[in-house]
Structure formats: structure tokens, C-alpha cells
Amino acid sequence: MKRAAALLAAALLVSAAEEKKREPELPAAAREIVSLARAAAPEFFSRAVTDLVRRGAIPDRESRIDFLEEAFTAAQSAKEPFAVIAIPATPPDTRELHRAKAAELKLDELSLEAAVVKEMVRLDPARARAMFEEIARPLLDPRPCQDPLIPDVSAYYEMAGTIAQSAFTPAERETGAHVQFLQAVLDGARSPAELPAFLRLLTTMALTRPQRELLIHSFAAKLVSIGTDDRAFAVSYNDLKLELGRVAPELTPALARYEEAQTEAARCGPAFVPSLVYFQSGDSKRIADEFIALRNLPHDDPRWRPSFEDLLRDLSFWSSSGIDEFHQQATILRALLDGPASGEERNRLMAYCADFLASSPAQTEHPQEWLYQVQMLDRGARMKDLFRASGNAALLLYANYFSASNGTSK
């Protein structure tokens, strides 16, 4: 029994020693960021850690690799699978437009994975290549006309270009394995929206003339065989034409055949009718009407202050549990911040904004859209102090790191 106990104790000591050995030594600033990121949504952790590696804030190579592995795993839990682009006719006060604007933050799974792979290829090209193989390729079916959001998977092609350029050995490159890899990437394209991204990829590659000609020939075949999708075609056509003029102007006849095939297919109308337009009914309309009435009052009108107080009170009673309510309330708050409130009024308004963001379920249910509204409501040093005082890990991460390192503050 004593021997078993001794062996168990020894095993625990060895395990603890190994764990201590694996735990990276970080500078204080990086340690604080990692600690905050672990308490926030996985999107924020993946982005923060990858940025730390990119900036050289983690000195030890093995630690950088370990953290990138963690960031890669965290990215796979992101709520959005890839970025989206809104068609030009998307109305402003809709969830669809907010989703598209938030997508520019690149907190979707594919963009986060691509950022990790880009850093990993500098540290361990073989592991970066294995990571790419682990990523499920987005399979883009034609978008219905009712959907104004077009998938943006350019991150996948940027990642493929990085792998082809830097993760194949000299011996593999001698046999053209990297070119075969790019052909396989092109073969998997299903949407017109993917075509400009592949052409941009080619501009980053060091290719021999025969290799380039082979890939251009493959692209010409894909151009005339790819499926039709009016939404994706309309959004990507100008970009495709521009890239083709830069990369392969000799494919103008193939472009004409591509355009003919796409325009002969079923077409969508130029406009999009959203399922929900904000501020049109219920509490949202009532509060929007209150805001308009307040905006029409001069700030020195004796009715302005009580109307402002009433509006803040009604906002506090308005449930923002759903993402649409969250965006609508954030829109009203943004307009109030841009209004004439000053002194104590403005302090109360800014404190309300911080509390609103800290308590919103959107930070875990829709992290990318939540961070977009944090960015939109940020009004400088005073607001960041309130974010820090909130004790909310994601707001602290934004105030102490994201806004400074990524230029997200207004």
C-alpha cells in the first residue's frame, strides 16, 4: 500500500513538473492579455494570441507554437464559419448590413484559422500545412435571391497561397507539387465569388513561366465551367474583371463566355427586401420616435433634459436579449453619443453604454457583431476607462489591447 502511495505521489510530481515545464514564461503584458482572452469568447482568444505571436510578444519559439495550436483550436468554435459581403442594395437598418460590417473584423472561423496558419508557417511549415489540411473547405452553394449576404472565403485562398509558397520542401517544388496543390484548390471552387480570390493568390506566387501558364489554363477552364449564382456573380464581377486584367488579360474571350453563361441563368432583382427592418414597430419604433422628438428639441430647451432622462429610462427597460434588439439599441446609443449631451448627461450616457455592452448576451452568442458595436460606441479614453471599470473580460481586452493594436477605436 505504501509502495502504491509512493508511486502515485511520484507520478503526480512528475506530472506537475511536466505541466510546469509546458507552461510558457510570458512577459507581464502578454500574460495579462492571455488571461483576459481565456475568459472571453473563443474568437477573442484566437485573435489575441495570434496577434501576440505576430508582434513577437511571446519570445520562446516552442511557446509560440503551443499558443498557435490553442488559437487554432479556439477558432474552430467561432460562431461565424466565414466572412460575408452584403449586396449594395442592402438597407442600412437591418441585421444583414450589421452582420456584413461586423464581418470586416475577421473574427469568423476561416479568417481566424488563416491568421494562425500564416504565423505557423514561419515557425513550423510542416505543421502549417497539416493545419490547412484539417480545415474544412467551404462548399458554397448558390445563394437564394432572398439572401443579400455573399460568402467571402478569400481567407481560404490567401492561406492556400501561403502554404504553396512557403510550406513545400525544395524537393517537392522541384517536382511541381506546390502547383498540383494549387490546381486542387482551384478544382474545388464552386462559386463565382471564389474566382477573384484565386487570381489574387497567383500574384503572390513565385512561379516559372510553364507553371503559371498551366494554372492560367486551368483557371480558364474553371471560368467557363463554374456553376451559376446571380448574387455571387453580381457582387464579384467587377473584381474578377480587374484581377483578370492584371493577371491574365489573354483570358478576355473566356471572360466573355463566363459572363454570357452567368447572365443567361436565373437573375435576382436589384433590390433586397429584408425580413425585418429596424425601428418599424413595437418598442423599437416607440423608442426611435422618442429619440427623434429629442433630436428635434434645442439642447437649451427646458424639455430636453427630462426627455433625455425618459429616453435613457425607456432604453433600460427595453429588452436587448435578441441580436436585433441589441443592434437597434446600440444604434440609438450611438446617435445619442453623437448628440449634444454634455457634462453629467454625457457621463451618464457613457456609463450606460458600458453597462449595456458588458451585460449583453451578444458577446458570447454573436461575438463578432458585439465587438463591432463596441467599436462603434467607443468614444476615446473616457469610454475605455468605463470599459475597464466594468470588470468584463472582453471589454477589458478591447480597452487594453484590441483598440490599440488593431486600430479599432474611433
Of the candidates 41, 36, 30, 35, the residue with the CA atom closest to the CA atom of residue 399? 36
10-residue mean pLDDT series, the chain (410 residues):
44 44 74 96 98 95 97 98 94 94 98 98 98 94 91 97 97 97 97 96 93 96 95 94 94 94 88 86 94 96 96 90 93 97 96 97 97 97 97 96 61
Name the β-bridge partners of 152: 83
Single pTM value for the model: 0.90
Burial of 165 per CB tally in 10 Å (0-12, 13-18, 19+): middle
Q: What is the pLDDT of residue 22?
A: 53
Contact 26, 38 (CB under 8 A): no
Q: What angle do CA 89, 93, 95 make, to 5 degrees?
A: 90
Copy the grid coordinates of residue 134.
Answer: 484539417
So where are the chain's domains? 78-264, 282-405
Q: What is the pLDDT of residue 342?
A: 95
**CA-CA-CA-CA torsion for 206, 210, 215, 218, nearest 10 degrees?**
180
Copy the grid coordinates of residue 27.
Answer: 512577459
Measured in Å, how far apart are the chain's first and last C-alpha atoms?
A: 66
Of the candidates 206, 204, 201, 166, the residue with the CA atom closest to the CA atom of residue 184? 201
